[in-house]
Amino acid sequence: NRVLFPHGSSTLSDKGKNYLKQLAPVLRQVPGLVELRGYADPTEVLFDQNKLKKGAIISTKRAVAVYRYLNKIGKIPHKKMVAHGFGVQSQKKAAIKGTTNFNRQVKIICDYRASIPYRVKRGEKKKSYYLDFKGFFFKLRGS
């Protein structure tokens, strides 16, 4: 089951904390880096003038909240984790028919690779432009 955040919040719920506490021993055994990918839902930035900035902030705070919790309570060393905010992204379809699927979550990736994805490297050839802000990649609008 996924750990979702309340609307506009980066505070972990008790259910989320319990889940991460149970998951921590498994994550400590992962041989490589563990990536924490934070996301925001489009409804959280609906009325903001700067939707990209607000989404980036919320998603990054969520990834950092999980990072800090896993480090403090789960005893996972800082050097074993990386946290990234991916901003606002819509889910393609609901996980269960008839339900609304929100993207207020942090995904835990156990096979993180530090290299830049190929599609980002080729961005200019495809006339797509990406903003690299301290290692966070944002696809620019209109590209």
**What's the pLDDT tens digit per position in 33-79?**
999 999 999 989 999 999 999 999 999 999 999 999 999 999 999 99
Q: Are 36 and 82 in contact (CB under 8 A)?
A: yes
Q: What is the mean pLDDT of the segment spanning 3-8?
A: 82
**What residues does each domain of the chain span?**
14-137
The two structure tokens encoding residue 20: 């991460």
**Could you tell me the pLDDT band of residue 119, with boundaries at 50, 70 and 90?**
very low
The yes-or-no verdict on residue 139 having pLDDT over 60 is yes
Average pLDDT, the chain: 81
Q: 127 or 31: which carries more pLDDT confidence? A: 31
Q: In whole angstroms, what is the distance from residue 88 CA to residue 56 CA? A: 7
**Per-residue confidence (pLDDT) for residue 133, from 0 to 100:** 63
Q: Are 102 and 43 in contact (CB under 8 A)?
A: yes
The CATH code for residues 14-137 is 3.30.1330.60
The Cα-based distances of 23 to 8, 20, 62, 71, 105 in angstroms read: 25, 5, 17, 12, 16
**Per-residue confidence (pLDDT) for residue 24, from 0 to 100:** 96
**Per-residue confidence (pLDDT) for residue 97, from 0 to 100:** 55
